[in-house]
Amino acid sequence: MTSPTLERALPERLAPGDRDRLKRQVPAGVTLLAFIAMLVVCGAIQPVIFSATGLNLVLSSIVPLVIASLAQMVMMSIGDIDLGIGSFVGLVTAVSATTLSGTPLIGVLILLALIAGYGVLGALVHLRRVPALIATLGASFVWYGLALFVLPTPGGTAPDWLLAFAAWTPSAFPAPVLPILVITAAIWAVLQLTPVGARVRALGSNAAVLERSGRSALRTRIITYVIVGVLAVLAGLSLSSQIGGGDPTSANDYTLISVAAVILGGGSFFGGRAVAWGSMVGAVTLGLVSVLLSLLNLSSNVQPAVEGGIVIAALAGRLLVGKVLR
Amino acid sequence: MSTTTTAPDLVVQVRHASKTYGPTRALSAIDLDIRAGDIVGVVGHNGAGKSTLMRLLAGIEPTDSGTVSVAGRSKSARGGFPGARMAYQETNLANELSVGDNAYLSAVGSPRGARWRKHAEERILSRLDEMFPGHGIRAATWVGDLSLAQRQMVEIARATLDDDLRLLILDEPTESLTGGATEALYDAVRRMSAAGVAVILISHRIREVLEVAHRVVVLRDGAVASEHAAAGLTEDDVLRAMGGSDVEIVLPVTGAVSIDVPIVAEVPARDARTGTARPIQARRGEVVGLAGIAGQGQEVILAALWNARERARRRVKKAYVPGDRQRSGILPLWNVADNLNITAMRSLGRWGLRNTAAEREVVDRWVHLLNVRGGVEAQMAGLSGGNQQKVIVARAFASDAELVLLDDPFRGVDVHTKNDLYRLIRDEAARGRTVVWYSSENAEMRHCDRVYVVRAGRIAAELRGQEINEERIIAESFVIADDEEVAE
């Protein structure tokens, strides 16, 4: 009862691989368009932005947000969400402005201990089945308390090497592009090209697959949380280099902006998706909002509202394009 | 019976294995021996203990008492007994990962080096080529982008990725496969058997089991009811052994709805041969079937019916029974009553408040009528697949919907349950409901008044009453080369 022509024709009709691939790229693509549009508007108002120094100025304040968004992206790729990342980044700036510049060795040890703390958090979430949302929310208060203990009022001085990095302005290219691209590429490579990355994404997509293949979901979750911790420390150091010292509350708004950046970049609340490049573009786009507002001579107080508008518009655009493609 | 038992080594040895979940005894004192190269069919109703037995054999769960040993080991490692692999009915794949990455995660002995992905992709593709020639699957495609049939192929192929495969368990492997792919799968199973792999085949398609298996094990109420050599065994024999002595296929009087009865639902469609417009219509009290090969656009038609605006100003109330109950059908953490009620509660309540007494009555009636195991308070996730399906079907019919859309809801449901549900559909149609029913099982279409055979999104044929039979449906489902040329 088989017809050979049908057997061959059917799967091809059902699996238009290129179309599917395109559909996957759409979310980040829409965000990229928004990013380019904003850049063009900014450039039209203030052409100096397109020079290396101009881009340097614009992008340098965005670097910590990009790194924090990549951390959030890793977290969301396993279906968890990190509500403590803002406080954690603030804590890292406090450590950086005090211990790290005073007694570097102890500072490094403290940072490593904080990363280990993330691993413990992951184990807790997995073993006790505490929702990540709750665990990281609780952790955010712990991070904040520790930060206040280390540095009660904003101040201190970042280590010299961090300050030197912040002051580095090569003429050939805008310096902030380097950490942004390198870290994004590294995270992309880890998640997409390595077996560990496949396990992380599988944990978010269908944890049963991992368990049934004899691999430890616990270990995978801990690895994921440690990666998040490492990235959050890098984000904190980068922020500390920007503000020249430490401030426990300096990164509070990173928590929700990083989630928005991941969603803008094509991530999902349900896990399984890990779009490093998209999250990077999402973070840069959101970071550009304040630049655009200041160029338009609008009060920076409306910044959150504009950011929210962009998130909603980009998501609506993404749904629209998705519908057209289907 | 074929004698493949020249190799006397036992791959599976189960002795007095029992398993209970809470108050329900899923398995009681099971004994089972399977030798290398055996193909054993395991049949039984939903809830007979098949899935539980398979979980024990795969080593995912331990026995409460008794012993299970597979390939000489009685203790399973993490991820199951070494050498025992299972292709799951609901598939064990990560949808957001590519076919190759899934193969990497699933395969035993994947290398960790730089070529891990390339290696996994080559491995799964060569296995797919071998088992399902012409599968059309690319290794880089996300599993979520594959059709149901392709996903099933990947699931089966990935379960065989073990160089030291001793036992392969196939749980309803052909539910989503086309006829050709099914044949190909069973050819591959026979080859594996010849190479010494023991294969367990679980299927509700008893004819397939009898064709492929050497032996048939019948489970009933958590125990082995009987074991038979497959040679000379008939479908009726098996059904009777399953406890199906009272199974009779109730054929209704169909095709009797007159033209005067108002049309409840209509969507535009085209004729497959001529390309001219030919709407799909359903009249009040009619059971309309959508047949044809899976994935030819039947779901699209159902979706169009669901979204259609009525000609009349009056809104037609509709209910939808999904086929993929895990994904879109059940609220796993709610109990049976709430799952059943969720559509009906709005029409039962008044002034926006729920009428709990009336709800209770409706739930009791349906749970009793369809004999849902576990009762009203049971948690949905704890029910067997067939019982979950009953609840979902009851949910649609308990509402006051005039039009009920069925999206192949009876895949993997046992004969008894199916017969109950078929009768229910006819009774409800007789009360004036309209049912549009897509099924991948052609035999089911005999319960319809009228059947549209769908091919490539178009209507290949419209069959009525006595014209509805498997041969006609199959004949119309497949593309005939000359035919196509006329259409172009």
Interface of B with A (CB under 8 A): 60, 77-80, 92-97, 101-102, 104-106, 110, 112, 116-117, 134-138, 140-142, 145-147, 149-150, 178-181, 183, 293, 295, 456, 474, 478-479, 481
Instruction: Classify residue B8 by burial, with Cβ atoms within 10 Å: 0-12, 13-18, 19+.
Output: exposed
Q: Stretch A187-200: mean pLDDT, rounded?
A: 94
Q: How far is B286 from chain A (nearest CA, A)?
A: 30
From chain A, the residues in CB contact with B179 under 8 A are 1-2
Q: Stretch A292-314: mean pLDDT, rounded?
A: 81
Task: Calculate the alpha carbon distances from B215 to B1, B5, B210 in Å.
Answer: 8, 12, 8
- DSSP notation for B370-390: TT-TT-TTSBGGGS-HHHHHH
**Residue of chain B whose Cα is closest to the Cα of A210:** B105
pLDDT at site A108: 96
Domain boundary residue, one of B181, B207, B241: B241
Work out the angle between the directed axes of helices A217-243 and A104-127 (0-180°, nearest 10): 140
What distance in Å separates the CA atoms of residue B389 and residue B329, rounded to the nearest whole number?
9
pLDDT at site A109: 96
Q: Sheet of B434-438: strands edge to edge?
A: B318-321, B403-407, B434-438, B287-291, B450-455, B458-464
CB atoms within 10 A of CB A194: 15
Instruction: Classify residue B69 by burial, with Cβ atoms within 10 Å: 0-12, 13-18, 19+.
Output: middle
**Residue of chain B whose Cα is closest to the Cα of A77:** B96
Is the pLDDT confidence value at A12 over 60? no
pLDDT at site B304: 87
B320, B325, B293: which is closest to B304 by C-alpha? B320
Q: Sheet of B223-229: strands edge to edge?
A: B84-87, B167-171, B198-202, B39-43, B215-220, B223-229
Instruction: Classify residue B435 by burial, with Cβ atoms within 10 Å: 0-12, 13-18, 19+.
Output: buried
Torsion angle, CA of B470/B471/B473/B476, rounded to 10 degrees? 170
Looking at the structure, tell me whether residues B127 and B189 fall in a common domain: yes
In a mutational test of the B interface, the residue from A23, A203, A209 whose CB has the highest number of chain B CBs within 10 Å is: A209
Report yes or no: B272 and B455 within 8 Å, Cβ to Cβ: yes
Report yes or no: B347 and B434 within 8 Å, Cβ to Cβ: no
Looking at the structure, tell me whether residues B353 and B401 fall in a common domain: yes
From chain A, the residues in CB contact with B481 under 8 A are 5
pLDDT in tens, B16-74: 999 887 666 788 889 999 999 999 999 886 567 888 899 889 888 888 888 888 888 88
In a mutational test of the A interface, the residue from B90, B145, B162 whose CB has the highest number of chain A CBs within 10 Å is: B145
A window 4-33, beta carbon within 8 A of B = 4-15, 17, 20, 24
Looking at the structure, tell me whether residues B147 and B196 fall in a common domain: yes
pLDDT at site A18: 63
pLDDT at site B255: 54
Contact B295 A10 (CB under 8 A): yes
Secondary element (H or E) of residue B226: strand B223-229
Strongest mean pLDDT among A5-19, A116-130, B288-302, B446-460 = A116-130
Looking at the structure, tell me whether residues B228 and B268 fall in a common domain: no
Q: Which residues of chain B have pLDDT under 70?
A: 1-8, 22-24, 45-47, 243-259, 309-314, 324-328, 412, 475, 478-488
Q: How far is B114 from chain A (nearest CA, A)?
A: 8
Give chain B's length.
488
CB atoms within 10 A of CB A195: 18
pLDDT at site B130: 93
pLDDT at site A187: 97
Q: How far is A274 from chain B (nearest CA, A)?
A: 9
**Residue of chain B whose Cα is closest to the Cα of A273:** B96
From chain B, the residues in CB contact with A5 under 8 A are 479, 481
Does residue B473 lie in a domain region? yes
Q: How far is A178 from chain B (nearest CA, A)?
A: 26
pLDDT in tens, A224-254: 999 999 999 999 999 999 999 999 999 999 9
Q: Whole domain around residue B101: which residue ranges?
A: 10-241
From chain B, the residues in CB contact with A12 under 8 A are 136
From chain A, the residues in CB contact with B102 under 8 A are 202, 209
Does residue B249 lie in a domain region? no
Does residue B463 lie in a domain region? yes
Does residue B248 lie in a domain region? no
Q: Which of A8, A12, A198 sits opposite B104 (nearest CB)?
A: A198
Interface contact A3, partner B, CB < 8 A: yes
From chain B, the residues in CB contact with A216 under 8 A are 78
What distance in Å separates the CA atoms of residue B138 and residue B152, rounded to the nearest whole number?
14
Contact A6 B478 (CB under 8 A): yes
From chain B, the residues in CB contact with A213 under 8 A are 79, 105-106
DSSP 8-class letter at B467: G
pLDDT at site B24: 66
More confident position, A154 or B327: A154
Q: Which of B60, B137, B293 sits opposite A15 (nearest CB)?
A: B137
Looking at the structure, tell me whether residues B38 and B131 fall in a common domain: yes
Lowest mean pLDDT among A37-41, A147-151, A293-297, B446-450: A293-297
In a mutational test of the A interface, the residue from B78, B89, B96, B131 whose CB has the highest number of chain A CBs within 10 Å is: B96
Does residue B166 lie in a domain region? yes
Contact A212 B60 (CB under 8 A): yes
**Residue of chain A whose Cα is closest to the Cα of B86:** A212
Torsion angle, CA of A308/A27/A65/A162, rounded to 10 degrees? -160
What distance in Å separates the CA atoms of residue B195 and residue B187, rounded to the nearest whole number?
13
Looking at the structure, tell me whether residues B285 and B415 fall in a common domain: yes
pLDDT at site B184: 94
Looking at the structure, tell me whether residues B304 and B194 fall in a common domain: no
Percent of chain A exceeding pLDDT 70 equals 93
Domain boundary residue, one of B211, B241, B271: B241
Looking at the structure, tell me whether residues B455 and B327 fall in a common domain: yes
B393, B403, B419: which is closest to B286 by C-alpha? B403
Looking at the structure, tell me whether residues B233 and B326 fall in a common domain: no
Does residue B1 lie in a domain region? no
Q: Which of A2, A202, A273 sits opposite B105 (nearest CB)?
A: A202
Looking at the structure, tell me whether residues B468 and B433 fall in a common domain: yes
Contact A272 B295 (CB under 8 A): no
Contact B136 A216 (CB under 8 A): no
Does residue B360 lie in a domain region? yes
pLDDT at site A5: 36
Domain count, chain B: 2
Q: Which of A15, A214, A216 sits opposite B150 (nearest CB)?
A: A15
What distance in Å separates the CA atoms of residue B261 and residue A129, rounded to the nearest whole number?
57
pLDDT at site B324: 66
From chain B, the residues in CB contact with A206 under 8 A are 92-95
pLDDT at site A3: 38
CB pairs under 8 A between A and B: 122
pLDDT at site B213: 94
Domain CATH number, residue B131:
3.40.50.300
Domain boundary residue, one of B241, B276, B302: B241
Question: CATH number of A64-320: 1.10.1660, 1.10.3470, 3.40.33, 1.20.1070?
Answer: 1.10.3470
Looking at the structure, tell me whether residues B346 and B197 fall in a common domain: no
